[in-house]
Chain A
């Protein structure tokens, strides 16, 4: 049982390049989330999904796109990377239902845009 995994763990991009971050979970969770963590700002929600084929915007969605074609996977795309997108990206998942269900986090992806 791997929990939540993220690929890649580290990446360096040049401004304008594109990339996709992959998140996978094996806990059969309905809900999945992408956050970014910047120094002094905590974690901020980028996009989330409440089920296969559905996505929604979070607090800081600009410059990112997401897709959830399979229940266990949630992809985060950067079409044209900018230095402001240098951050640590966390994926999380949880069961649907009451607020008591915790979110399980992946190990994070450290992205640097030069």
Chain B
């Protein structure tokens, strides 16, 4: 079985600063994918970034980057130059090959960006 752990229920960051949201995972599969989703207060789920288990480079998408440390089983999300619009809940999730490619989610981190 797969498990995702997000140990930071809430985080604060000042505008224009960088912030790291932690995510650790557990799986015995060799082939898996790691995802981050953003959920603003309006409720929709927005895909941010993906990292494959065989990818040698850390994924980046604009101001988002994924700090992937395979040996430590961690997939932390780094948001650079935080903006007020980044205030939201952030979920880390994992998918393994087969069985419908189901996503297993963590419990989320509530990020608040302050002036």
Interface residues on B, range: 20 to 34
Beta-carbon contacts under 8 Å, B71-115 to A: 91, 93, 95-97, 100-108
Summarize B's interface: helix, strand, loop or mixed.
strand
Give CA–CA (A27, B105) in the complex, Å: 23
Beta-carbon contacts under 8 Å, A30-77 to B: 31, 33, 35, 40-45, 48-50, 56, 58
* Given known A-B contacts A99-B32, A99-B101, A108-B43, A40 and B52 have beta carbons under 8 A apart: no
Give CA–CA (A45, B105) in the complex, Å: 9
Interface residues on A, range: 20 to 34
B103:A107 contact, CB within 8 angstroms: no
Give CA–CA (A92, B37) in the complex, Å: 13
- What residues on A are CB-neighbors of B104 within 8 Å? 45
Give CA–CA (A78, B91) in the complex, Å: 27
Report B's interface with A, CB cutoff 8 A.
4, 9, 31-33, 35, 37, 43-45, 47, 50, 52, 91, 93, 95-97, 100-108
Chain A to chain B contacts (Cβ below 8 Å), 6 pairs = A40-B107, A42-B91, A42-B108, A43-B103, A50-B100, A58-B102
